[in-house]
Amino acid sequence: MTEHPSISMLGHVTLSTPDIEKSLWFFRDVLGMEEVGRDGKRAYLRAYQEWEHHSLVLVDSNVAELEQVALRTSKAEDVELYARHLHANGVEYVEIPKGDKLGQGDAIRFFMPHGGHPIEIFYDIEKPQAPEGLRSRLLNQSSTRRGLGVRRIDHANLHTATEEVGAAEEWLVRNLGFKRREAFQIPDGPLMASWTSVTPQVHDIALVANPENKVGAFHHVAFNLENFADSLTAADILRDLNIQIDLGPGKHGIGNAMYLYVRDPGSGHRIELYAGGYLIFSPDHEPAMWTPETFGDGLTWYGEPTPLDPSAKFSQTTNSTKKLI
């Protein structure tokens, strides 16, 4: 049997921020992530149930952009296999040597065809022990639960132009092995959104039509909370800290999860605190297909309705960086 490369999980996102100290305060001190290390302009963070060196990389910059969505392969040799696959299919990529990101091995980077987002593929990553003061007595988590208690990265929501969503989804499915789990399709019209995953989650990556028809736009990254009560507690605390809440808490029909969208005060990047949801184990699971008639329930099952107006604050996206290095 020929060995095919595969993606195992969403590894991390790299976000640039014009105020890295304020962003660190938000992710580390408020959300409760561990600052694992720093090198030059970058800070590396992980949540308390994560063992990999980082699930979020913050980059000191004068702009707030998505620098990479990084996907971890299933095996070390898959990085090289994907490089060959991209080359054979005419997708340009660059090789990123081990150590370019702290704790991380060799990687490749390219722009996702049709999506336009900078994607990084890697496998090797260190799994350092947390320092004594943060380490949990529980053997199954890397550190103690702190702050609002985000426990792991959950998914990334990427926007592209309406006419590209279908092709971008197809590229993810055919080339990286993502599965469509839920989607919003206009009858006889374009695919407007797709929730895709390589794990039992409903989505590791969501691809959504951008109301302004921008390619390569970044809407949000989500971090997972244990339960709905944590979302309500988070809202209470974030309100008191005067941190901008874009939407929620409420519940999406899509994914069946509670949402709370907030802004990192250092960068303005939108962050979703995500709780609940269902998991998919069936190998022949049929995706849930939303239509214009049902999509309202899909976006908002209860809570403040999700606005679709392109001028609404919630629809605004940040850009992806245009460079791979």
Which parts of this chain interact with Fe ion (CB under 5 A)? 157, 222, 272
Classify burial at 64, counting beta carbons within 10 Å of its beta carbon; exposed 0-12, middle 13-18, buried 19 or more.
buried
- Is 5 or 276 the residue whose CB approaches Fe ion more closely? 276
- Is 51 or 228 the residue whose CB approaches Fe ion more closely? 228
- Is 142 or 197 the residue whose CB approaches Fe ion more closely? 197
Among 83, 105, 79, smallest CA distance to 92 is for: 83
- Is 102 or 202 the residue whose CB approaches Fe ion more closely? 202
d(CA 81, CA 321): 25
Q: Does the bond joining 118 to the residue before it have cis omega, within 30 degrees of 0?
A: no
Among 180, 175, 225, 170, smallest CA distance to 203 is for: 180
Q: C-beta of 298: minimal distance to Fe ion in Å?
A: 12
Q: C-beta of 274: minimal distance to Fe ion in Å?
A: 6
d(CA 314, CA 270): 9
Among 201, 222, 212, smallest CA distance to 269 is for: 222
d(CA 67, CA 155): 16
d(CA 79, CA 75): 8
- Is 23 or 306 the residue whose CB approaches Fe ion more closely? 306
